Amino acid sequence: MKVTWKLPDGSEISADVAEGLSMMEAAVAQNVPGVVGECGGNLSCATCHVQVAEPWAARVGGPDDFEDAMLDTVEAARGPGSRLSCQIRASADLDGLVLIVPEA
Ligand code: FES
């Protein structure tokens, strides 16, 4: 599936991501600035915060209660499409996904 990260400076990084990989793992592999993934995807750092762009937010779905609480700790402003990208897995139905990397 193809994923595009939109960066705060207006630039974009796009990549083909293998199914099953998390969006945090994919971002780290592509050196996407601002997505760190400090905890390795264990839902304990929130350094993988992104905002899912419309119209993808509904398809990706919202956070569960625990992730929701973690999102309240993020440094960057939380938006309606905010998710921890370690919790979003690449799948064919998300092909074309656009993720916005918030300003740190
Ligand atoms: S990588 Fe730590 S919460 Fe996602």
Spatial contact of 102 and 76, defined as CB atoms under 8 Å apart: yes
pLDDT in tens, 34-87: 999 999 999 999 999 999 999 999 999 999 999 999 999 998 889 989 999 999
Mean pLDDT of the chain: 96
Atom of ligand 1 nearest to the CA of 49: 4
Q: Counting every residue, how long is the chain? A: 104
**What's the pTM?**
0.95
* pLDDT tens digits, one per residue of 74-87: 988 899 899 999 99
How many Å lie between the centroid of ligand 1 and the Cα of residue 3? Answer: 18
CATH class held by domain 2-100: alpha beta
**100 pLDDT exceeds 80?**
yes
- Strand 49-52 vs strand 12-16: parallel, antiparallel, or unpaired? unpaired
56 CA to centre of ligand 1 in angstroms: 20
What's residue 76's pLDDT?
83
CA distances from 9 to 68, 69, 82, 102 (A): 27, 28, 19, 10
